[in-house]
Amino acid sequence: EYRITKPQGYNVSFHYNPAMEKHHFGQTHPMKPWRLTLTKSLVNAYGMNYAMDNYHPRAATFDELTTFHTKDYIDFLATVAPQPTPLDVDNPNPDLKFNLGGSDCPLFEGLYNYCSMSGGASLDAARKICNKQSDIAIAWGGGLHHAKKTEASGFCYVNDIVIAILQLLRVHARVLYIDIDVHHGDGVEEAFLSTDRVMTVSFHKYDPQVFFPGTGALEDNGPKNELNPGAHHAINVPLNDGITDEQYEWLFQTIISQVVAKFRPEAIALQCGADSLAGDRLGKFNLLVEGHGACVEYCKKLGIPMIMFGGGGYTPRNVARAWAYETAIAIGQHKNIPSEIPEHTSWRDRFRQTTLLPSIEEILGEPRTNKNTPKKLQDIVQHVSEQLRFVEQ
């Protein structure tokens, strides 16, 4: 049996509510809460639980949820009756409010509990960062970056990230938000548009007429009015299909190093959406678990207190691999654990794959065509550098 011992003087906490997995968005819906259980079982199979502080956080209260969301919206979320998902996926129920009840954001049994548990875990993580009990706090059940102040969007009902960042801002002067989900982190960007205490950076596939949510162009850098303190504090990195580890890591490190030098964050909120991996059911990139994890490792090495959130990820076995590997990065053990998945999990029988770090052929068969030219990536870096010149030291 594997057992990893606690590192000295460095605390990683894991905030996980096992009741989240019992919730179902519907038979064919891509969001599968059981991927969280799969992640936890892989983390435990490697004995990583012994190297962290493990918390079963309580659900967030109404008052905690309304630090960001409106009372009207949360009231409705708490009282609305579950309804079966409409048969016609592109024809949401017109009677319902707040963008609820369509196929993306269905009303399922226990919805309010699911949302308040996700929010509760992320808020618990933020509190452990604020009181310095944790250097890194992990909340894989969070990362629901599309939820708006008074509206559900893109599988997200409660924006646990915004709620957690508001908590971080009680103690920390500046918080850097980084989002490596394949979708644009629009809800978090929008929530902090008018402050210079939060800088948001999202890497995402951008194809406005085709790919959700359609926002996040390179030129979108926050309010255009220079008198607004939030001007220049939104960074967007729009990408095309098939981006590789090498390109993504180069962009990530080049951009984040400049952002950190300029913005000097006191805390980092990192959304680790795993739909940017190769072989994702919704995503279009070619990232391997190693490339995705390299972004997490880069952030850890900055030595700034950090929350790691989950997010998207629609091929559950690869989501669990990425988040287990990134848990290993947080505890500094990723180079020590074997890629061969430990014997005693049901993993082998379920997936007939045995490695934590599969090759692209194992994940995909045929990799996607890479439509990101070196020139395009250079232009992105150029634009971001120019934007950062407007940010005051």
Residues annotated as catalytic are: 146
Beta-bridged to residue 200, according to DSSP, are 177, 234
Nearer to Zn ion, 106 or 273 (CB): 273
Q: From Zn ion, Ca ion, ligand TV7, none, which one binds at residue 393 (CB under 5 to 8 Å depending on kind)?
A: none
Rounded-to-integer distance, Cα 142 and Cα 310, Å: 5
Identify which range of 22-30, 42-50, 235-243, 369-377 contacts ligand TV7 by CB under 6 A.
Answer: 22-30
- Contact positions with Zn ion (CB under 5 A) in 154-213: 181, 183
Spatial contact of 236 and 380, defined as CB atoms under 8 Å apart = no
Q: Could you say which of Zn ion, ligand TV7, Ca ion, none residue 204 binds, taking C-beta under 5 to 8 angstroms by partner kind?
A: Ca ion
List b or e across 327-365, with b for residues whose CB sees 16 or more CB atoms inside 10 angstroms: bbbbbbbbeebeeebbeeeebeeeeeeeebbbebeebbe
Q: How far is the CB of 101 from Zn ion (least distance, A)?
A: 21
Q: Which is nearer to ligand TV7, 31 or 231 (CB)?
A: 31
Decide: is 156 part of the binding site for ligand TV7 (CB under 6 A): yes
Among 78, 89, 218, 260, interactor with ligand TV7 by CB under 6 A: 89
Regarding 332 and contact with ligand TV7 (CB under 6 A), the answer is no
- According to CB under 6 A, which one of 2, 19, 29, 240 is a site residue for ligand TV7? 29
* Residue with Cβ nearer ligand TV7 (112 or 347): 112
Is the omega angle on the peptide bond into residue 213 within 30 degrees of 0, that is, cis? yes
Angle at 118 between CA 113 and CA 119, to 5 degrees: 100
Q: Amino acid identity, residue 374?
A: P
Residue 312 in contact with Zn ion, rule: CB under 5 A: yes
DSSP per position, 10-79:
--EEEE--GGGGG--S-TT-S--TTHHHHHHHHHHHTTGGGGSEEE-PPPPPHHHHTTTS-HHHHHHHHH
Interacting residue with Ca ion among 179, 186, 189, 249 (CB under 5 A): 179
- For position 144 contacting ligand TV7 by CB under 6 A, the verdict is yes
Binding mask 104-133 for ligand TV7 (x = CB under 6 A): x-----------------------------
342 binds, among ligand TV7, Ca ion, Zn ion, none (CB under 5 to 8 A by kind): none
Is residue 378 within a helix (H) or strand (E), and if so which, with residue range? helix 374-388
Distances (CA, A) of 310 to 3, 73, 182, 190, 369: 24, 24, 12, 19, 27
Instruction: Find the binder of ligand TV7 among 32, 40, 127, 183 (CB under 6 A).
Output: 183
DSSP annotation of 81 reads: P
From 154-162, 191-199, 224-232, 260-268, give the range in contact with ligand TV7 by CB under 6 A.
154-162
> How far apart, in Å, are the Cα atoms of 379 and each of 240, 296, 376, 385, 386?
14, 24, 5, 10, 11
Q: Counting contacts by CB under 6 A, is residue 23 touching ligand TV7? A: no
- Report residue 55: phi and psi, to 5°: -120, 140
3-class DSSP assignment, residue 250 = helix
Range 197-216, binding Ca ion (CB under 5 A) = 202, 204
Which residue of 249, 275, 280, 326 would you call a contact of Zn ion, by CB under 5 A?
275
Say how far apart CA 57 and CA 328 lie, in whole Å: 21
**Which CB sits closer to Zn ion, 154 or 222?**
154
Q: Which residues pair with 156 in a beta bridge?
A: 153
Instruction: Tell me which residues touch ligand TV7 (CB under 6 A).
Output: 28-30, 89-90, 103-104, 144-146, 154-156, 181, 183, 212, 273, 275, 282, 311-312
Residues of this chain that interact with Zn ion (CB under 5 A) are: 181, 183, 273, 275, 312
- Summarize as ranges the residues that interact with Ca ion (CB under 5 A): 179, 181, 185, 202, 204
